[in-house]
Amino acid sequence: MTIIVKNKETLQFDDFTFNSCIGKKGLTNCKIEGDKKTPKGIFSLGDLYYRKDRVTKPLTKLKCLAIKKNMGWCNDTNNKKNYNKLITINKNVKHEKLFRKDYKYDFVIPINYNTKNTKLGKGSAIFLHLSKNLRPTAGCVGLKKKDFLILLKLINKKTKIKIF
- The residue extents of the domains of the chain are 2-163
CATH superfamily placement of domain 2-163: L,D-transpeptidase catalytic domain-like (2.40.440.10)
User: For residues 94 and 30, is the Cβ–Cβ distance under 8 A?
Assistant: no
Task: Look at residue 78 in the predicted model and tell me its pLDDT.
Answer: 97
Pairing of strands 86-88, 71-74: antiparallel
pLDDT tens-digit readout, 87-120: 999 999 999 999 999 999 999 999 999 999 999 9
Coil, helix or strand at residue 84: coil
pLDDT of res. 109: 98
Q: How far is the C-alpha of 48 from the C-alpha of 68, rounded, in Å?
A: 13
| pLDDT of the residue at 6 | 87
* Band of residue 121 on the pLDDT scale cut at 50, 70, 90: very high
The rounded percent of the chain whose pLDDT value lies above 70 is 100
Segment 5-39, tens digit of pLDDT: 988 999 999 999 999 999 999 999 999 999 999 99
Pairing verdict, β 141-143 and 160-163: unpaired
| Mean pLDDT (the chain, rounded) | 97
Please choose, from the candidates 68, 95, 66, the residue with its C-alpha nearest in 3D space to the C-alpha of residue 79. 95
Query: 64-103 burial by CB neighbour count: b if 16+ within 10 A, else e?
Result: ebebeeebbbbbbbebeebbbbbbebeeebbbbebeeeee
**pLDDT recorded at residue 12:** 97
pTM passes above 0.95: yes
- Give the pLDDT of residue 48: 98
Instruction: Using alpha carbons only, give the angle 106, 39, 102 rounded to the nearest 5 degrees.
Output: 20
**E strands along 63-132, which residues?**
64-66, 71-74, 86-88, 95-97, 107-110, 127-130
Q: Are strands 71-74 and 95-97 parallel, antiparallel or unpaired?
A: antiparallel
